[in-house]
Structure 1
Amino acid sequence: MDVVYVLWLRAMKQVFRSKSRVLMSVIVPFAVLLLLGIGLNGIVTLPGIAPDYILFLIPGMVAMTVMFTALGCGVQILWDKQFGFLKGVLVAPVSRLEIVLGQTAGGATTAIIQGLVLLFPALLVGLTLPSLAGFCLACVFMVLVAVSFTAFGVAVAMRMGDMNGFQMISGVLSFLFFGFSGAIFPISTLPPWIEPLTLINPLTYSVEGMRYSLTGMSQIHPAICLTVMVGFCVVTTVGGAYLFRKTG
């Protein structure tokens, strides 16, 4: 497991040497939160779903931040390919599973840090810290999102050799995952033809689970959300490890 730790530590050093990277990844969702939340807070009412619109929006912005960061970590694989670092790691006398676990752990930790950082400015716009149990459950969902989408990003990156192509694909996937997650609009208010797309989106269950954790209200039972996210995490992690082992 020394390889896992070394690769994780490398990712952490890259993050803390580039503090602007964390800062900018928080500023964008917080700006969206302010623009949409404050602008629509007095207009949109969500009885039985959330006390006000800005509180409804916060869990979705946190999930979006974690997901965007985690999925984008696949770029690091392509950088490592381009500069020969990945080749050096692959020829080392270590298992491919340890390598992919280290890469996933580093990317997931980065995403979790950025999700937690966003919670602090969210306190300024109305979020009240939940109970310890609620906060811990929100962290569990953040971990599941981070690990799932980092592994998913690694899997996609391993099938590609073009960094620009990966960034375009990850951008489109991020938009689709977020757009059909119920992060901005309640699932119950969506048109009938969009609702099925939302329900097959794994990020939806993270958003709703996090919403339950932070506000106590959700349109999907938290046990279902947790089950779906655990299953998605297992599938993406196993799939990412399989594709990594096939890499020459």
Structure 2
Amino acid sequence: MPGKRGEQLTGAAFILPALSLGSRELVRFYRQRSRMIGVIGSPLLFWFLIGSGLKTSFRYPSAPPDVNYMEYFYPGTIVLIILFTSIFSTISIIEDRREGFLQSVIVAPVPRSSIALGKIAGGTALSMIQAILLLFLAPLVGFSFSAGSLLLVLATLFVISFGLTGLGFMIAWRMDSTQGFHAIMNLFLIPLWLLSGSLFPASGAAGWLGSLMTINPLAYGVSALRQGLYLNGTESIRDIAPLPVA
């Protein structure tokens, strides 16, 4: 009995701080309305302007003739929202360090891994919420969901959100300047997104560019998301390879 109680206390000591930090990230983000507008508004503006500009001139290889660029760019827009949210959410690590909150959490009798999980889980939840909001526009673009496609899309969104937020956490943990963090993230993550197949397929790119896209892990996430949006009842989720690769 004492052993079981000790295990329960250990589990509570790990989970409760993580939940507290994660919920704090949610409350903090949604109190800053300007960040919400920037995170959702900028990708939607890119999608509308770029998608409208290339709507009739873009043709995706091996796709039906009625697939226009706004439809092709839609999964990339969702991933861009996740990318922006992961950047904005992990900035709080630098702000917490500057305000002294992070130091007080670190010296508390809680595992460091619990602190990391709470921060990453909060950012992942934020990214998922923002991305799911954009999914409500899917019927307007021409997508329809089945149970299998929705499951795959949500699983893909979680993998991408968790991965990008974790990457942002690792970079922000070692930095003390929000300006420097923005510079590093833009230098690294924006090219990562550009080479993910969000804007153009690897098959139509230059040889060296296509090679870079094949080793980009985010490209497999975008591919899995795109396949999930097109998944119909005759296909099985087991037939979709990019998600486990990502």
1:27 Cα deviation after fit: 1.4
Per the alignment, do residues 49 and 216 of structure 1 end up closer, same or farther by CA in structure 2, a change over 3 Å counting? farther
Matched, 1:180 2:195: yes
Q: Which has the higher contact order (CA 8 A, sep 6+)?
A: 1
1:47 Cα deviation after fit: 4.5
1:161 Cα deviation after fit: 2.0
1:162 Cα deviation after fit: 2.1
Per the alignment, do residues 190 and 198 of structure 1 end up closer, same or farther by CA in structure 2, a change over 3 Å counting? same
Matched, 1:127 2:135: no
Per the alignment, do residues 9 and 202 of structure 1 end up closer, same or farther by CA in structure 2, a change over 3 Å counting? same
Aligned pair partner of 1:14 in 21, 28, 43: 28
CA contact (8 A) 2:35 2:88 kept: no
1:122 Cα deviation after fit: 4.6
1:24 Cα deviation after fit: 2.6
Equivalence for 2:243 = 226
CA contact (8 A) 2:25 2:122 kept: yes
Matched, 1:100 2:116: yes
CA contact (8 A) 1:70 1:153 kept: yes
Equivalence for 1:193 = 208
Aligned pair partner of 2:224 in 209, 215, 230: 209
CA contact (8 A) 2:90 2:169 kept: yes
CA contact (8 A) 1:74 1:157 kept: yes
Question: Whole-Å Cα distance in 1 between the matches of residues 42 and 245 of structure 2?
Answer: 28
5+ residue gaps, structure 2, are: 1-14, 233-237
Aligned pair partner of 2:174 in 139, 159, 184: 159
CA contact (8 A) 1:78 1:157 kept: yes
Equivalence for 1:141 = 156
Question: Whole-Å Cα distance in 1 between the matches of residues 30 and 91 of structure 2?
Answer: 18
Corresponding pairs, count: 225
Matched, 1:88 2:108: no
CA contact (8 A) 2:25 2:89 kept: no
Equivalence for 2:55 = 41
Question: Whole-Å Cα distance in 1 between the matches of residues 146 and 34 of structure 2?
Answer: 31
1:112 Cα deviation after fit: 1.0
Question: Whole-Å Cα distance in 1 between the matches of residues 179 and 207 of structure 2?
Answer: 36
Equivalence for 2:80 = 64
Per the alignment, do residues 15 and 74 of structure 1 end up closer, same or farther by CA in structure 2, a change over 3 Å counting? closer
Question: Whole-Å Cα distance in 2 between the matches of residues 222 and 139 of structure 1?
Answer: 17
- SS at 2:197's partner residue? coil
Instruction: Kindly provide the CA deviation profile for residues 149-192 of structure 1, in whole angstroms up to 9, marking residues without a partner as x.
Output: 11111111122222211111011112111111110111110111
Per the alignment, do residues 78 and 146 of structure 1 end up closer, same or farther by CA in structure 2, a change over 3 Å counting? same
**Which residue identity does 1:226 align to in structure 2?**
L
CA contact (8 A) 1:71 1:174 kept: no
**Which residue identity does 2:193 align to in structure 1?**
F
**Which residue identity does 1:228 align to in structure 2?**
V
Question: Whole-Å Cα distance in 1 between the matches of residues 179 and 209 of structure 2?
Answer: 30
CA contact (8 A) 2:150 2:228 kept: yes
**Which residue identity does 2:58 align to in structure 1?**
V
Per the alignment, do residues 21 and 127 of structure 1 end up closer, same or farther by CA in structure 2, a change over 3 Å counting? farther
The structure 1 segments of at least 4 consecutive aligned residues displaced by more than 3 Å after TM superposition are 121-124, 221-224
**Which residue identity does 1:180 align to in structure 2?**
L
Equivalence for 1:26 = 40
